[in-house]
Structure 1
Amino acid sequence: MSEVTKYTGGCQCGAVRYRARGELGYPHICHCRMCQKAAGNYFLPLAAAKRQDFELTRGGPKWFRSSDLVRRGFCGDCGTPLFYDIPETDFINIALGSLDDPDAVKPVMQSNTGRKMSWFHAIDGLPLEPEPDTSEREDTIAASNHQHPDHDTKSWPPGETP
């Protein structure tokens, strides 16, 4: 018997955590203007989890009704975009960047490409910023990092009792 795929994720500060069991459906990149604004980015990668296989494991999102059909869930503490939800359906879309392992789900489609940035085709041609000669900046950031780790924790922040 094979093991059921399990995806975990949450917001940047750790106040909201979730788990989805089974495969995520229709992993795609949405370029619509609402997704751009909700993500604060040029696009929003999403995939659907069946509601019966989805659970919040810590906290709960705040919701913004971006249209009469859709609400968007985000962390009320740190603002991380987490969900694109059509309440009447049997699934909830997860923002793929909020997964603990975002590389585990590869988009298979793009949608609403009429709002796609006209210069995306040139991204791979941009020069690469050189790596720093020392790791001083990265060490300083790592030593003062307040971001939740990419795995479930009993409590967060460290030292807080559940």
Structure 2
Amino acid sequence: MTSDQEKWTGGCLCGGCRYESQGGPPHSGYCHCDMCKRPTGGPFAVLVQARLSGLVWPTGKPSLYRSSPIPTRGLCADRGTSLFLRYDGDELIRLTAGSLDHPEGIRPAGHYGVESRLRWAECGPGLPEEETQERW
């Protein structure tokens, strides 16, 4: 995916869930919060914002999981690939960068949840940093 593409695609490891998104250049960023580290199995997540209204699932539908009182996560029901995070009432969905067909085309623009950042997770130096705002 490059920033000038109007349509970008992705999906799960087994191919059972595929998505397409329409829109301008996607915003992406690193998330270091524990609620993103655990479901992705990594030291941080890289999430890509898309408008919910521009997202379609031409193949399969993700299984939904309420991971805390404020968001729902989508994953492949067959193999468990983490596909997205969506906050209640938000018009944006945050797709996992690793599920994109061409993740090399995104460039994270900042860090979120930095209070949970692992000291050895050195990535995106010099980008803006923000602490987690959600509380429940």
Match of 2:104 in 1: 103
Deviation at 1:18, TM superposition (A): 0.1
Deviation at 1:115, TM superposition (A): 1.2
Match of 2:57 in 1: 56
Q: Distance in 1 between matches of 2:27 and 2:33?
A: 16
Larger radius of gyration: 1
Please tell me the residue identity of whatever aligns with 1:115: S
Change (3 A) 1:24 1:4: closer
Change (3 A) 1:37 1:104: same
Match of 1:113 in 2: 114
Q: TM-score, normalised by structure 1?
A: 0.69
Q: Distance in 2 between matches of 1:84 and 1:120?
A: 22
Larger fraction in helix: 1
Deviation at 1:87, TM superposition (A): 3.6
Are the aligned partners of 1:24 and 1:47 in contact in 2 as well (CA < 8 Å)?
A: no
Match of 1:71 in 2: 72
Are the aligned partners of 1:33 and 1:115 in contact in 2 as well (CA < 8 Å)?
A: yes
1:13 lines up with 2:14 in the alignment: yes
Q: Secondary structure at the match of 1:34?
A: helix
Q: Structure 2: 5+ residue runs without aligned partners? A: 124-136
- Moved >3 Å (runs of 4+): none
- Aligned runs of 1:31-42 on 2, under 5 Å? 31-42=32-43
Q: Structure 1: 5+ residue runs without aligned partners? A: 123-162
Q: TM-score, normalised by structure 2?
A: 0.82
| % identical aligned pairs | 33
RMSD after superposition: 1.7
